[in-house]
Amino acid sequence: MSSPDSQDRVSEIQIYLVDLSQDEPYLGALREGEAVNEAGYFVRKGNRTVYPRKNRSLVVKIVTRDGVTGWGETYGLVAPLATAAIISDLLTGFVVGRDPNEVEAIHDDLYDLMRVRGYTGGFYLDALAAIDIALWDVVGKIQNLPLYEILGSPRRSLIPAYVSGLPRPTLAGRLELAREWQSLGFNAFKFALPVADEGALAELSALRLTLGDDARIAVDLHWSLTEDAAVQLAADLQPFDPWFLEAPVPTEEIGTLRRVVQRTAACIAVGEEWRTHFDARLRLERLACHIVQPEMGHTGITQFLRIARLAETYRISVIPHATIGSGIFLAASLHAGAVLTEVESHEFQHSIFGAFRHFTGDALRCEAGAYSLPDGPGLGVEPSDAMLARMTRMLP
């Protein structure tokens, strides 16, 4: 066994903003009454949520004294300077000099730093997620093994994927897009209520007719309903066999969520906004959902696995969420998903996956309805030249 002094140590954390801008904003073209403000943001009327006109992501690079490089990523969509400042001003000083193999201890130590001030979520935990993913990447590279070999016992080499979002301005266009994906071997889909202009019932019934009885079709309700409205909508949708209803009521209303679960026959999915297993426990111990959807960009690998393992103890399904990113946290999500007991499906952001592949090369593949696992050491993905050209260094 090597002495502590021979262990490699973190020497530097670099922070980058990645420009992921595309022709159209996320969820498709702006609807009537939606306008981009001077800061480059707009609000979707359907869910009162702010989005940037130009997608972007926050990436960190951790370098060790021995020259091992690890990549991590978190949300950079909104106010990315806030997360960058947390990493640069606060966290870097407590990570540099640590042994990267202590990744879980580092995560918990950083979490403890701000607990008494109430920073148990939000931008603070996003910053921790980016560091956590980068440290795990370093650990994998030190061991020269893909992360799915290190995080647990790999149970699968393919992870089923569902096509998320149908960003076309008309229902006819959305049906056509769904059919195109079905012809490519995908038979699970999710549409979002804020851009289902004719309403969830019209959207689901039309998709069901188009895609057939075997297709799985989920509905993302974006936390927009009251308890009674959610119960009514679930009853209205039932004849068209929705796969799951996502985020029916505001995230703060855990009691309401539980009552929706109790009052409907529908399968309820939540969790993309959670950061930690503490967030998960509040819902899981109340049996307030049927599916949890951890989002790697918010949780990092350490918390993603804690959330998923907690869900497993309640026999609650895990269907990982996948948001807008450069492909780094998507790769982390696939590695973590590979070691869970069961992963029914994983979100596939097809509208930005072209950019993932552009940025990370062929290491990330999602074909014929399933992701394959990146198999290089660590995350198995590295920024391509195209991604490096779109990365801007932030803060010292």
Using CB under 5 A, list all residues that contact Mg ion. 220
User: CA 346 to CA 297: how far, in whole Å?
Assistant: 14
CB of 224 to Mg ion, least distance (A): 11
Nearer to Mg ion, 203 or 220 (CB): 220
CB of 268 to Mg ion, least distance (A): 13
Return all residues near 189 (Cβ < 8 A) that are at least 6 apart.
162, 163, 164, 166, 178, 181, 207, 211, 215, 216, 217, 218
Nearer to Mg ion, 126 or 220 (CB): 220
CB of 269 to Mg ion, least distance (A): 8
Nearer to Mg ion, 73 or 220 (CB): 220
The identity of residue 254, as a single letter, is I
Nearer to Mg ion, 164 or 276 (CB): 164
Nearer to Mg ion, 220 or 279 (CB): 220
Nearer to Mg ion, 73 or 246 (CB): 246
Residue with nearest beta carbon to Mg ion: 220
Nearer to Mg ion, 151 or 270 (CB): 270
